[in-house]
């Protein structure tokens, strides 16, 4: 791993709809940009703005059966979205 890339997990492009629920902000449906063994990146085009370290619940949408609800933590924010890490990583 190069010193420029601190990523522990390889990312895979993934465009899926997910519901993100924040205890104070509420719930909203977003698209993902990529996924890895450590987490996902959520594309945000509005003012949904959790803070670094906040915990959110995430559930993939549009599957034939309800997906599990996963606890995730906001670990990165950019102008176009935020990175979430699986809480158990």
pLDDT in tens for each of the 89 residues of the chain? Answer: 444 456 677 888 999 999 999 999 999 999 999 999 999 999 998 888 899 999 999 999 999 999 999 999 999 999 999 999 998 75
Angle among Cα 29, 32, 33 to the nearest 5 degrees reads 150
Cα Rg, the chain, nearest whole Å: 13
Catalogue all structural domains in the chain, each as residue range(s) with its CATH number.
Answer: 12-86 (2.40.10.220)
- pLDDT, residue 70, reads 96
How far is Cα 43 from Cα 9, in angstroms, rounded to an integer?
19
The reported pTM is 0.84
How far is Cα 12 from Cα 3, in angstroms, rounded to an integer?
21
């Amino acid at each position: 791993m190069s010193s420029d890339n601190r990523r522990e997990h390889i990312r895979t492009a993934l465009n899926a709809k997910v519901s993100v629920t924040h205890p104070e902000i509420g719930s909203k449906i977003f698209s993902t940009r990529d996924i890895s063994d450590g987490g996902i990146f959520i594309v945000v085009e509005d003012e949904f703005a959790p803070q670094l370290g906040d915990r959110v619940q995430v559930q993939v949408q549009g599957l034939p059966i309800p997906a599990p609800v996963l606890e995730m933590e906001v670990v990165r924010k950019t102008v176009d979205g935020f990175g979430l890490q699986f809480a158990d990583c």
